[in-house]
Structure 1
Amino acid sequence: MDFKCCKNKTTKEIKNLFCIVCANVFHKSCSERNVFQKLGQHKIICSKTCCEVFEQGKNNQVTLEQLDTKLLEKNEEIALLANLVEKLKHEILQKDIMHEKKEIDNQDVVQKLNIEITDLQNDLKHKDNHIKRLERGSQRFNEEAEEVEEIFNRKIVEFLKTIEDLRLKLPDLESQAKKMIEDAGFTVGKAHCAIEAKPPVQWNKGRASIYILRTAFGVDWSERLRIIYVGDDVTNEDAMMDLKSMAATFRVTSSHIIKISAERRVPSTDSVLTMLKWVERHLSRRKLPIDPGNYRRNSMAKSITSAVQIEMSMQVPGYSSPPLPSKSTNYLGSTVTPVFSLYVF
């Protein structure tokens, strides 16, 4: 043991002093010891430097306690991590076992896949042969198609010549038809790609519409009813002219160049159906009062419903016409095209 107080290292004393800072040992009985501060029976601070270190240690004691607390927390975290590591090891062992089982299963799957690959290769060979046969067949088809195209072009040229001949003959045919209609006492009327034969009476769709409305709803129908008139033909222009300011008139045409007498135009019958559905929804939101004094004879039953549609083909007295088809609720999709359509609301 080395003593800092003297060079005598052989002296053996039971009671020695040691510095709690630098841990140097001093003889208790040595006259050369330099005790700066005595803390107990055997504990001393040997120098001023050790005293400063000791005071600084007191100040840092709180910090050491905090570090000890953090160390304990870290130790707990380490313990938790150790438990997690054990669990992970257990899971890895289980996964290794599962992996071995999957390897065994994969071997079976690989064998099955090899069998399927062999079958697919055989199928591909058959399909390649089939494709080659199709290529040979398509070559023959192309040759036949070229022959058909030549025949088609030749026929088209002949057909166009025939159409041109007919187009040149159309004025003569039109004049002959007009002459035959006028000789029979009828009036010539224009229609869609046709010539109509009208009887020599002062009667048209406008007069017919007003007659129907007056007969069904009375003379004051224009004050009590709202009328929608829809037509898609030139002959409907008479009705649109007569019903102006008394009805909402629509002409079914997709062209904006054609002059019309109607207030508005709609592109197709589908638009007419959309418009009627809108009117139905609009009228279903309100309740119209029923006044028995405003209706004539048996028109009460007709006025109970929110909308009445009248479709009919007018007949001229003295001329026979085929019977009208039975009444159907599918007004717009019917195969029989009405001459005009009145929608009374």
Structure 2
Amino acid sequence: MPEKHVATVIQDLKGFEDNLPNRIDLSYPIAVLLDYDGTLAPIADNPAKTKMPVELEAIIHKLAQNPRVFLAVISGRGLKDVQKQVNIDGAIYAGNHGLEIEYPDGSRHDYELPKEIQKNYTDMVAELKQKVEKNGAWVEDKKVSLTYHYRDTPVELKDEQKQLASEICKKYGFRANQAHEAIEAKPPVNWNKGEAALYILKQKFGDNWPQVINVVFAGDDTTDEDAMRALQGVGCSFRISADPQIQTFADFRLPQQAVMTDLLKWIAGAYVS
């Protein structure tokens, strides 16, 4: 059974050079599965303001053009939103924590929510907007999941508002997860970033994908732990966190988002150069 632990920290390119050659067999292609916010791009005060660092963006475009590198972005954002932000041809995009997946040829896989859950979602959005969309907080409605952002709410009001938002989400049967200055509400179905990652890998490489492909996953949030758990023992995953004692399913911890550039640089050096 997968277990959480305090992961080994990697702080720079040398750390990847020291640790990854023993984990990744370069004779096999590599699947690179990545979160967006806080992973490919630093967290911003507003989701619309996020942007990938110039060097990281150049490297990931380079990776996407290599036939031995398979790229997928699995984000909590809505599908069209994350596609717009990343804008890399040839990648698979999974939005809403994997509830909607689109392939490079335009084909899709959408997790069909039961009618009752769809109605509860609509009612939940309406109540959140009525009761807690105030004092700088706002509801990001992604049609099947949502994020309640309270980053700009005055400090003395944050706890009360986020607590009420969480209670409203749970009242309608949705899972309320803590994110960066936000509450993420996901539908009560057995589908998450981990299930999405496994589905994408099986669709692309078959049921025996662990025998034919290397897999790397990186993320920075609690929802990314679902993918880290699913891939523990069959992939190599990285949790971005400044907390040296954080318990994670990931194999390694990256202390800040900037170290992602070094991870992608190592992959590019191994597969592209």
Max Rg structure: 1
Q: Normalized against structure 1, the TM-score is what?
A: 0.33
Q: Which has the higher helix share?
A: 1
Q: Normalized against structure 2, the TM-score is what?
A: 0.41
Q: Which has the higher strand share?
A: 2
Q: Which has the higher contact order (CA 8 A, sep 6+)?
A: 2
